[in-house]
Homo-oligomer: A and B are copies of this chain.
Amino acid sequence: MVMFRVLLQFIFYFFASLLCLSQQTLTEGALSPVHPHGFNETVQFLLSNKLFKCVSGWFTKPTEKPPNSSDVYQNVRQKLVAEMKAENIKQFLRSFTKLPHLAGTEQNLLLAKQIQGQWKEFGLDSAELVHYDVLLSYPNETQPNYISVIDDQGNEVIFLMIKLQLCKTSLKKQCLPLFSHSLIPADLVYVNYGRTEDFFKLEREMGINCTGKIVIARYGKIFRGNKVKNAILAGAQGIILYSDPADYCASGVDAYPDGWNLPGGGAQRGNVLNLNGAGDPLTPGYPAKEYTFRYKVNEGVGIPKIPVHPIGYHDAEVLLRAMGGPAAPDSSWKGSLNVSYNIGPGFAKNSSTRKVRMHVHTNNKITRIYNVIGILRGAVEPDRYIILGGHRDSWVFGGIDPTTGAAVLQEVVRSFGKMKMEGWRPKRTIIFASWDAEEFGLLGSTEWAEENARILQERAVAYINTDSSIEGNYTLRVDCSPLLYKLVYNLTKEILSPDEGYENKSLYDSWLEKDPATENNSYPRINKLGSGSDFEAYFQRLGIASGRVRYTKNRKADKFSNYPVYHTVYETFELVEKFYDPTFKKQLTIAQLRGKLVYELADSQVIPFDCRDYGEALKGYSNRIYRLAKKHEEQLKPYKVSFDPLFSAVVNFSKAAAEFHRRLEQVDKKDPVAVRIMNDQLMFIERAFIDPLGLPGRKFYRHVIFAPSSHNKYAGESFPGIYDAMFDIESKADQHEAWEEVKRQISIAAFTVQAAAGTLKEVA
């Protein structure tokens, strides 16, 4: 089977027009319009500096009225939401997705300036660009990446030009942060999703050793960086990631552009760093400013030391078809390609002497990125901040990710600006943020958090994320701190459901019906915060109460994997307009909910947090971790492992929370200092769960109750210290030492909950 493929499937005819573009300077004032071809309506006209004027011109510019006009203060709650329009979100989305906005590119700086200008026009008190110089990674323009299959004579019998490269002329730069590597040829091993349990299965049940091998893993279920980490731990010398149709094609749906499925040539981009919250890999803990000390790239945090590259399922099929070795252990290891999913190592039969070789070359470059930070100053407590932030950079056009979020942010800012121009101000300050370089590891948001950590830890009330507002169109998905449960439930009752068949019902009702919580199905499901978006530094490192809301698909269908064309060039405006949210009502609903969350947090006299829900959540988490521990019941006694201190701390927390809210009801609302004292207790309760020493081996994950799972960054784990200490404990060599660590973690958890309870007590 000699195949020589210089793959060109990727080049849509619309690329021809984009290629024209790329040869012109996008920073210039004006470019000739290129007319649309077929579905690609995004390229209807070219955007230059004129765009900003054009976009902001959509809205009548209000003139600012004197503050405190009482008519404005009335009903801002209603007016703010009524101000938001689906059509505006659509226009923002169209405008912001005309060009790729990869972090570190001129286009993305231009977009930052455009957003900054609009925010000022909308009426914010200020809108500034804040830059950092972070490590980004782009494809090497002179050395294209490819994967080859080599025969025993050393001839390249299969040559898989890595497709992302093909976009480079038009899209300039877009790749995973990687070291440059040309590996010695090696046998391939198929590792399913590359999860911890997949490698356990291989190593422990099937006796397959990945040392020195190149592994091929399908995308899905978990964060790709965890797959890479697992491959490294297994001793692999390289990892190929591919999207299997089983995970990225829905049945009965066409491939894009005719439907929303992933075409066979489509490869998912994405960073594969294991930063564990560090932000820029070269400046962990500190903002990447001009003067900041930088580690060398080979000392950088979380950068894999093996090559990694994504391919589409057409290419993957070529490799997988040739695989030898045992068959997939069970159906959970089989995708839906027409191959048998043999594990390897290596190829079958007469191809068995053939080896795979990865050629990956990247330019790592310290590159300037730009956040846009907009301020709407609070009238009463300007030193209390509500942050609404989401990223602006995208791998290509960002049709869904992030621009369905960025467009919502824009509409929310516009609406708040309108209220402000009419004379209103929120009690507290609202900070709007358009983050850069999220796709390279949450860099813009983390660097800003690092730069402003001291201010934020003393003054930030809450952080609401505004990444993609849709990842599906089935129902609402909420991940947030337990402090926000009640607020989210209350607000969703005030918003009409955009779902078909739920006309005149509330968002809460459709959400509850479609996705009730597992533990108590009389409430809609709310998930724990993990990571994978910009709230991470704010929640996991700084302990600022955070939340994210978006429209999602039916989770029962597929629990963890993303929408099919996630992080591919097919994420376009048309994808959203044609398939995901043609009316833009789902996005409007999310704009309303994000906007209401910010409004209530910023303007309520008493911060709308409920600590009692945290108590309930802690109870659930402690029961869960105890149930996990009980699986090792025969160890608990001899090693003297007791969860009693944790249970007792949780009870104390719940009591303190109940008592706190009783006092809160009685506080003299006319005494501004008395109210502020209790608001401070509310603001600091999430902070109380922060342990400055951090989690073991993950010093920037400092929240004792929640962390991104060590096995899947996207998922949230509760009591992560205890969980990780108990994970796979039976296989640890020194059982005594292992259980001592469990006890240490229980002790830390119990103390932290107890200490948090202490902050709710009367202050003197």
Q: Which residues of A contact B (CB under 8 A)?
A: 125, 285-287, 289, 291-293, 375, 377-378, 380-383, 385, 429, 451-455, 458-459, 644-645, 672-673, 676-677, 680-681, 684, 687-688, 692-693, 699, 702, 740, 743-744, 746-748, 750-751, 755-756, 758-759, 762-764
Please tell me if the beta carbons of B429 and A764 are within 8 angstroms of each other in the complex. Answer: yes
The minimal Cβ–Cβ distance linking A669 to chain B, given in whole angstroms, is 14
The minimal Cβ–Cβ distance linking A89 to chain B, given in whole angstroms, is 27
Known: A382-B764, A673-B676. A293 touches B459 (CB 8 A): no
**Contact residue among B459, B692, B746, B759 (Cβ-Cβ distance under 8 Å from A692):** B692
Please tell me if the beta carbons of A764 and B375 are within 8 angstroms of each other in the complex. Answer: yes
Please tell me if the beta carbons of B684 and A378 are within 8 angstroms of each other in the complex. Answer: no
Closest to A748 in B: B286
A680: B residues at CB distance < 8 A: 383, 458
**Contact residue among B375, B454, B688 (Cβ-Cβ distance under 8 Å from A755):** B454
- Expressed in whole angstroms, the Cα–Cα distance for A289 and B672 within the complex equals 37
Known: A454-B687, A764-B382. A747 touches B292 (CB 8 A): yes
Complex A-B: 27 CB contacts under 8 Å: A286-B751, A287-B751, A289-B751, A291-B751, A375-B764, A377-B764, A378-B764, A381-B673, A383-B680, A383-B763, A452-B755, A453-B692, A453-B755, A454-B684, A454-B688, A454-B755, A454-B756, A454-B758, A454-B759, A455-B758, A458-B680, A458-B687, A458-B759, A672-B673, A673-B673, A692-B702, A693-B699
The minimal Cβ–Cβ distance linking A280 to chain B, given in whole angstroms, is 13
The minimal Cβ–Cβ distance linking A61 to chain B, given in whole angstroms, is 23
Please tell me if the beta carbons of A293 and B755 are within 8 angstroms of each other in the complex. Answer: no
Please tell me if the beta carbons of B459 and A744 are within 8 angstroms of each other in the complex. Answer: no
The minimal Cβ–Cβ distance linking A505 to chain B, given in whole angstroms, is 39
A377: B residues at CB distance < 8 A: 764
Known: A291-B750, A747-B291. A380 touches B755 (CB 8 A): no
A454: B residues at CB distance < 8 A: 684, 687-688, 755-756, 758-759
- Expressed in whole angstroms, the Cα–Cα distance for A676 and B459 within the complex equals 13
Please tell me if the beta carbons of B672 and A751 are within 8 angstroms of each other in the complex. Answer: no
The minimal Cβ–Cβ distance linking A182 to chain B, given in whole angstroms, is 29
The minimal Cβ–Cβ distance linking A544 to chain B, given in whole angstroms, is 14
Please tell me if the beta carbons of A645 and B747 are within 8 angstroms of each other in the complex. Answer: no
A677: B residues at CB distance < 8 A: 381-383
- Expressed in whole angstroms, the Cα–Cα distance for A422 and B762 within the complex equals 24
A287: B residues at CB distance < 8 A: 751
A451: B residues at CB distance < 8 A: 755
Please tell me if the beta carbons of B744 and A293 are within 8 angstroms of each other in the complex. Answer: yes
A453: B residues at CB distance < 8 A: 692, 755
A763: B residues at CB distance < 8 A: 382-383, 429, 459
- Expressed in whole angstroms, the Cα–Cα distance for A763 and B458 within the complex equals 11
Closest to A296 in B: B740
19 more A-B residue pairs beyond the given contacts A382-B677, A454-B759, with a C-beta to C-beta distance below 8 A: A286-B748, A289-B751, A291-B644, A291-B747, A293-B740, A383-B681, A383-B764, A429-B764, A451-B755, A452-B758, A453-B755, A454-B684, A455-B758, A458-B458, A458-B687, A458-B759, A673-B676, A692-B702, A693-B699
The minimal Cβ–Cβ distance linking A697 to chain B, given in whole angstroms, is 15
- Expressed in whole angstroms, the Cα–Cα distance for A179 and B615 within the complex equals 44
- Expressed in whole angstroms, the Cα–Cα distance for A454 and B457 within the complex equals 12
The minimal Cβ–Cβ distance linking A450 to chain B, given in whole angstroms, is 9
Please give me the 8 A-B residue pairs with the lowest Cβ-Cβ distance, nearest first: A383-B763, A293-B747, A291-B645, A382-B764, A293-B744, A429-B764, A377-B764, A454-B688
A459: B residues at CB distance < 8 A: 763
A687: B residues at CB distance < 8 A: 454, 458
- Expressed in whole angstroms, the Cα–Cα distance for A746 and B381 within the complex equals 35
The minimal Cβ–Cβ distance linking A668 to chain B, given in whole angstroms, is 13
- Expressed in whole angstroms, the Cα–Cα distance for A385 and B677 within the complex equals 13
The minimal Cβ–Cβ distance linking A126 to chain B, given in whole angstroms, is 9
A644: B residues at CB distance < 8 A: 291
The minimal Cβ–Cβ distance linking A10 to chain B, given in whole angstroms, is 43
Please tell me if the beta carbons of B751 and A292 are within 8 angstroms of each other in the complex. Answer: yes
A693: B residues at CB distance < 8 A: 285, 699
Most buried by B among A287, A747, A751, A762: A751
A382: B residues at CB distance < 8 A: 677, 762-764
Closest to A678 in B: B383
Closest to A543 in B: B454
- Expressed in whole angstroms, the Cα–Cα distance for A454 and B684 within the complex equals 9
The minimal Cβ–Cβ distance linking A756 to chain B, given in whole angstroms, is 7
A692: B residues at CB distance < 8 A: 453, 692, 702
A383: B residues at CB distance < 8 A: 677, 680-681, 763-764
The minimal Cβ–Cβ distance linking A200 to chain B, given in whole angstroms, is 29
Please tell me if the beta carbons of B764 and A286 are within 8 angstroms of each other in the complex. Answer: no
A673: B residues at CB distance < 8 A: 380-381, 672-673, 676
Closest to A645 in B: B291
The minimal Cβ–Cβ distance linking A649 to chain B, given in whole angstroms, is 9
Most buried by B among A125, A383, A740: A383
Closest to A290 in B: B645
The minimal Cβ–Cβ distance linking A420 to chain B, given in whole angstroms, is 13
A759: B residues at CB distance < 8 A: 454-455, 458
**Contact residue among B293, B381, B458, B684 (Cβ-Cβ distance under 8 Å from A743):** B293
Most buried by B among A289, A693, A743, A763: A763
The minimal Cβ–Cβ distance linking A453 to chain B, given in whole angstroms, is 7
The minimal Cβ–Cβ distance linking A288 to chain B, given in whole angstroms, is 11
- Expressed in whole angstroms, the Cα–Cα distance for A764 and B673 within the complex equals 20
Please tell me if the beta carbons of B458 and A684 are within 8 angstroms of each other in the complex. Answer: yes
A285: B residues at CB distance < 8 A: 693
- Expressed in whole angstroms, the Cα–Cα distance for A291 and B755 within the complex equals 13
A750: B residues at CB distance < 8 A: 291
The minimal Cβ–Cβ distance linking A67 to chain B, given in whole angstroms, is 14
A758: B residues at CB distance < 8 A: 452, 454-455
The minimal Cβ–Cβ distance linking A725 to chain B, given in whole angstroms, is 11
- Expressed in whole angstroms, the Cα–Cα distance for A673 and B381 within the complex equals 7
A762: B residues at CB distance < 8 A: 382
Closest to A429 in B: B764
Please tell me if the beta carbons of A286 and B747 are within 8 angstroms of each other in the complex. Answer: yes
- Expressed in whole angstroms, the Cα–Cα distance for A285 and B383 within the complex equals 30
